Structure 1
Amino acid sequence: MPLRLRKFIGTILLIVLVLGYALLATTFASLLLGRSPWWVHLLYFTLTGLLWILPAMVLIKWMAGPIKK
């Protein structure tokens, strides 16, 4: 697959990942954490705010293509 096409597909997938993850995390929080104390909200949003980075890293590595030596 050409690198340009791989980057285009990866960019679209990254946008979908971020939007879908944000929607899912916010929906989950609003349904289940409504009456929780402030520190539970802080912990939840800190963890979910960092968790999306893992699949994004894999996607970005794929977009960069194989390392040529």
Structure 2
Amino acid sequence: MNRQPAPYEPSWRKPVGMFIILALIALWAILIGSLSGLIGRLPMIAQVPVYVFLGLIWIWVLPLKRLLAWMETGRWRRG
């Protein structure tokens, strides 16, 4: 008895999640870009750590892990 694998049904969550991630990136870029005048007044040696710090905040603050889990499983938390 050979069973055929079930046909793959693509989830709508993946394209929606992708657009949400792109929107979050755009919003974050606009926010950081609006601060560029203020950051640009700092000496160059101080600008680099500020931008690195703001880049790290992007990873820690925005709930990308949960969004990716939702895209994959339909739940906001894995497990």
TM-score (norm 1): 0.74
Higher helix share: 1
Single out whichever of 13-22 and 3-12 deviates more from structure 2.
Answer: 3-12
- Structure 2 distance, partners of 1:63, 1:52, is 19
Single out whichever of 8-17 and 36-45 deviates more from structure 2.
Answer: 36-45
Higher normalized contact order (CA 8 Å, seq sep 6+, divided by chain length): 1
Single out whichever of 50-59 and 39-48 deviates more from structure 2.
Answer: 50-59
% of aligned pairs identical?
27
Partner of 1:44: 50
RMSD over aligned Cα atoms: 2.2
2:36 is the alignment partner of 1:59: no
Is the 1:3–1:64 Cα contact (8 Å) retained in structure 2? no
Structure 1 runs of 4+ aligned residues shifted over 2 Å read: none
Partner of 1:12: 19
Amino acid at match of 2:70: W
2:11 is the alignment partner of 1:31: no
- In structure 1, the gaps of 5 or more residues are none
TM-score (norm 2): 0.66
Deviation at 1:34, TM superposition (A): 2.2
Q: Which has the larger radius of gyration?
A: 2
